[in-house]
Amino acid sequence: MNSERTGGGITRRLLALGATAAMIVSACGSATTSPSGSTAASISPTSAASEAPSAASTAPSAAASDAGYTGPEATISYSIWGDPAEIKSQQAVVDAFHAANPKITVKPTVSDWDTYWEKLKGSIAGGAAPDVFAMDGPLFPDFQSRDVLLDLKPYIDKEGYDLGQLADAAVADFTTADGQYGLPRDLNVVTLYYNKKLFDEAKIPYPDGTWDWAKLVEVGKQLTKDTNGDGKTDQWGLYTETSDMENYWSSLVWQNGGDIMAPDGKTTVLGTDEAAGGIQFLQDLIWKDKIVPDPALFAETGDAFEQGKAAMEINGTWLVPTHEAAGIDLGIAPLPKGPAGLATSINPTGAVVFKGSKNPEAAWAFVKYLSSPAAQTKLMELKASLPANKEVLAGPYASSFVGAKVLADSIAYAHLKPSFKGFEEFASILQEELNTNVFLAPNKTAKEALASVVPQLNSLLAGQ
């Protein structure tokens, strides 16, 4: 991934997933069949969620999920990124799978983000990649185009596996015109977090679905304070991260009626007034309205909301367990709507099989298990992401913790993060321009910055 994704919020997201969700593969991404990122997820999982039974009463047993492997005894390797210290948690889901499929032994490994990709690329080059491994959605097209991933469609067709049991947008994430190269593990959306204690102290009603951009600015100013009178802000109204489109600015583009990629995925449309206006709103929150801190202020110390130094945060679902662990009296609300209405970012996750695996049948059995209600219920309990299995998502998840229904409901207006060949370089070039001239310093307007970089981005896309 680009350098921005290896630092700041993305790193902390990965650590949070490793520290709490190493039991389940987590890799953010979006649809290869809809590279524009403008396709709203076609799932409405929560129509009956408010009456859903508790997780305890509905969670299927591991032994009842996807048993039935009848092949020879096999040992497969399984690699993900996360906190290496969480290998014990990872082993728990592997043990549950082995109980259901005693002929298959799975040997998991967990590496930090940078090490993971370095080792994976090296092992693929040497023809000895893990049998099953986590795949980041935006990088998927680059790996799939190298012909190193196993097409799972023959296995799906052979046994009549129902892809419809999984979130449609998440399935599409690993679908190409000629096959199915992975199954989804989970979903991540971007939402509004708020500190109930700070709202209560200010006697301000909590955020809700009626909020829009103007309300966010209004309340953000009320909650931005110099508490000790030294001329410096001690409490910020809002905190977010600017180092990746996923954290907030892509949602603003969509909320303003813009988009990132053209429908055919061959050019970027970030140069439009609508797209630029969304990014300009974020620049103004930092440098004009001054309710969001200069990103440099917390570059070293981390999340201002988690430290109690911001009343609200806009960021991904992966932060729920870390915010709770920090002792925040946490509230969750939809993102404030923009001129074009509600929109947020969604990133399905997935696991893929190495084409050179010596045990493809066993690897398929394991990938299938990871999407099963049994494994997905374990993921749900971690709170770090949304289940990709519709049964779990529409049933126990939405009532599993306060705010979960808000997250599940947001899928209905979510847009997929772009995914296409060359995404890594595209994102690196784009983010460098925005970081330097828009977010870290207002050297240019968003419109000016995008105008300067769009030709380079389109030239890159034309060469893919």
pLDDT given at position 57? 35
Placement of tokens 């990629």 in the chain: 261
Computed from CA positions of residues 304, 306, 310, 314, in that sequence, does the dihedral angle turn out positive or negative?
A: positive
162 pLDDT more than 90? yes
pLDDT given at position 210? 97
41 pLDDT more than 80? no
Residue 316 near residue 188 (C-beta atoms within 8 A)? yes
Mean pLDDT of 146-173: 94
Confidence band (pLDDT; 50, 70, 90) for 81?
confident
**Gyration radius (Cα) of the chain, Å:** 22
Determine the Cα–Cα distance for residues 335 and 208; give it in Å rounded to an integer.
9
pLDDT given at position 32? 33
pLDDT given at position 89? 65
Residues of the chain within CATH 3.40.190.10 domain(s) are: 3-188+346-408, 191-344+420-462
pLDDT given at position 246? 95
DSSP assignment letter at 208: -
Mean pLDDT of 175-186: 93
pLDDT given at position 86? 58
pLDDT given at position 22? 35
Mean pLDDT of 349-378: 94
147 pLDDT more than 60? yes
Closest-CA residue to 406 (of 330, 307, 347): 330
pLDDT given at position 26? 35
Angle CA 340–256–309, to nearest 5: 110
pLDDT given at position 85? 58
61 pLDDT more than 80? no
Task: Give the CATH fold of the 191-344+420-462 domain.
Answer: D-Maltodextrin-Binding Protein; domain 2 (3.40.190)
pLDDT given at position 113? 79
pLDDT in tens, 216-274: 999 999 999 998 899 999 999 999 999 999 999 999 999 999 999 999 989 999 999 99
3 pLDDT more than 50? no
Which range is least confidently modeled, 53-57, 110-114, 277-281? 53-57
Beta strands, E only, 286-409: 312-316, 330-333, 344-353, 386-387
Mean pLDDT of 140-145: 91
pLDDT given at position 83? 66
Confidence band (pLDDT; 50, 70, 90) for 333?
very high
Mean pLDDT of 191-207: 98
Closest-CA residue to 320 (of 4, 19, 6, 48): 19
| CATH number of the domain located at residue range(s) 3-188+346-408 in this protein | 3.40.190.10
Mean pLDDT of 135-155: 92
The pTM score is 0.84
